[in-house]
Homo-oligomer: A and B are copies of this chain.
Amino acid sequence: MKQRIAILGASGYTGAELIRLLLPHPHAEIVTLTADSQAGKSMREVYPHLDCAGLPNLIPLSAVDYHGIDVVFCCLPHGTTQQVIAEIPRHVKVIDLSADFRLADTDAYAQWYGHAHFAPELQKEAVYGLTELNRNKIKNARLVANPGCYPTSAQLPLMPLLKEKLIEADNIIIDAKSGMTGAGRAAKQTVLFTEINEGVDAYSISAHRHAPEIEQGLTLAYGKQVIVNFTPHHMPMNRGILSTIYVSLAKGKRPEDLVACLANAYQNEYFVRLTAKGVAPATHMVRGTNVCLIGVFADRLPGRAILVSVMDNLVKGASGQAVQNMNLMCGFPEKTALEQTALFP
């Protein structure tokens, strides 16, 4: 029997991407779509490219009947999600794509998001959904906090290296470049076509909310508090994150040791891969796919190395990883509905 799916907040980009991925899923049926500001419309009115048979119309969040629902994907804005999820009946599996349950430490949440956590009890139950590195917990979770896009691109290459103490933990620099879908679909002057096209900039320097999320994962892997430099940049493109990560090698370690560690850590993974020696990852290689591709390079600076990871921020960085987690939580093969070939050019 198919899992009956609800997507809360289906009018944003992660909601639309979930629909793209779930439509051909053999074990999933989208039965409910919500969007308060667009309630009453069909999806094709909101997203004309989703002119698909069988999609329900958008309804208000308050009109959702959870009795007929097995899995909820929650794509609501940060801050409003905690209370919504707190009221979802416990028979429903929940995958939350907002940041609301990503930080296990509710004090850290309060510090970075500017208000006390609204559902601290639920936070204890939430499982962090970085699939490859938290698979066993996700399998049995009821509430999964789906990782942020930047944190996924940074944690996948770094966590195995920190766990094995192959790199120093006090000197990690993450220079991240993201396509503009990361900024969402809300109308803002700063992300108009004319303001982004033909230019690049750094933003939220030393102040982006994904920094504590990255640090949480790295700290867990390393066993001691890790602080990182995380500097995001806007790119004039729609999809893709490229993170260039600069690390110091632990004493006596060489770049080849990093390659070996990552190759080992991900040897059985379909969605996390290393490039061939000398091949620099490009976002084109993974556009539209759930794959994170990692390259390791020697640095001219002695004792240092460079990691480059690429992925599609809307897929492995959001909706694809969410489906991957759903597959795990529901006992489906993890790759189900996630074997797309990249769309290039």
Q: Across the two chains, which residue of chain B brings its CB closest to A312?
A: B343
- A339: which B residues are within 8 A, CB to CB? 24
Given A227-B300, A285-B51: A199 and B342 within 8 A (CB)?
Answer: no
Report if A175 contacts B (CB, 8 A).
yes
Given A188-B187, A206-B297: A341 and B170 within 8 A (CB)?
Answer: no
Given A52-B341, A192-B187, A300-B229: A177 and B180 within 8 A (CB)?
Answer: no
- Please tell me the size bucket of the interface on A: 35 or more
Using a CB-CB cutoff of 8 Å, which residues 7-27 of chain A contact chain B? 13, 16, 19-20, 23-24
Question: CA A276 – CA B48 in complex, angstroms?
Answer: 10
Report if A233 contacts B (CB, 8 A).
yes
Report if A279 contacts B (CB, 8 A).
yes
Report if A205 contacts B (CB, 8 A).
yes
A208-240 vs B, CB cutoff 8 Å, 1 = contact: the mask equals 000100000000000000011111010111111
Question: CA A237 – CA B299 in complex, angstroms?
Answer: 27
Question: CA A319 – CA B91 in complex, angstroms?
Answer: 45
Report if A304 contacts B (CB, 8 A).
yes
Q: Smallest distance from the beta carbon of A263 to chain B beta carbons, Å?
A: 15
Question: Is the Cβ of A180 less than 8 Å from the Cβ of B197?
Answer: yes
Question: CA A273 – CA B236 in complex, angstroms?
Answer: 25
Using a CB-CB cutoff of 8 Å, which residues 272-313 of chain A contact chain B? 273, 275-276, 279-288, 297-302, 304, 306, 308, 310
Question: Is the Cβ of A49 less than 8 Å from the Cβ of B341?
Answer: yes
State the A residues within 8 Å of B (CB).
13, 16, 19-20, 23-24, 44, 47-52, 170-173, 175, 177, 179-181, 183, 185-189, 191-203, 205-206, 211, 227-231, 233, 235-240, 242, 244, 246, 273, 275-276, 279-288, 297-302, 304, 306, 308, 310, 339, 341-345
Given A48-B275, A180-B197, A231-B244, 11 further pairs, Cβ under 8 A: A23-B341, A24-B339, A49-B284, A171-B301, A192-B192, A200-B240, A201-B284, A205-B306, A231-B306, A233-B242, A236-B237
